[in-house]
């Protein structure tokens, strides 16, 4: 049953990079998406992977891998 739930969540995945990074976001954080299609905005999302980067050209960014819950 838990495996079936995991597979159902995995059907909705999304990658996103925040131009202004947020160090408060970590794996298993629940997030809300706005500014996208309503199908995306109305879904609850959980961060499965996060990468924070700081470089001289782009500054501090946060890259997220998410799955719908």
Quick: pLDDT tens for 48-63: 999 999 999 999 999 9
Q: Is the pLDDT of residue 21 over 60?
A: yes
What does pTM read for this prediction?
0.75
Per-residue confidence (pLDDT) for residue 11, from 0 to 100 = 75
What burial class does residue 9 get, using C-beta atoms within 10 Å of its C-beta: 0-12 exposed, 13-18 middle, 19+ buried?
middle
Under the banding of pLDDT at 50, 70 and 90, the label for residue 3 is confident
Cβ–Cβ contacts within 10 Å for residue 25, how many?
14
Mean pLDDT of 22-33: 94
Rounded-to-integer distance, Cα 3 and Cα 24, Å: 29
């Amino acid at each position: 049953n838990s495996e079936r739930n995991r597979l159902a969540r995995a059907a909705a995945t999304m990658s996103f990079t925040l131009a202004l990074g947020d160090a408060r976001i970590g794996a298993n954080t629940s997030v809300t998406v706005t500014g996208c299609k309503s199908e995306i905005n109305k879904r609850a999302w959980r961060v499965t992977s996060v990468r924070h980067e700081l470089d001289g050209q782009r500054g501090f960014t946060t890259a997220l891998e998410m799955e719908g819950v």
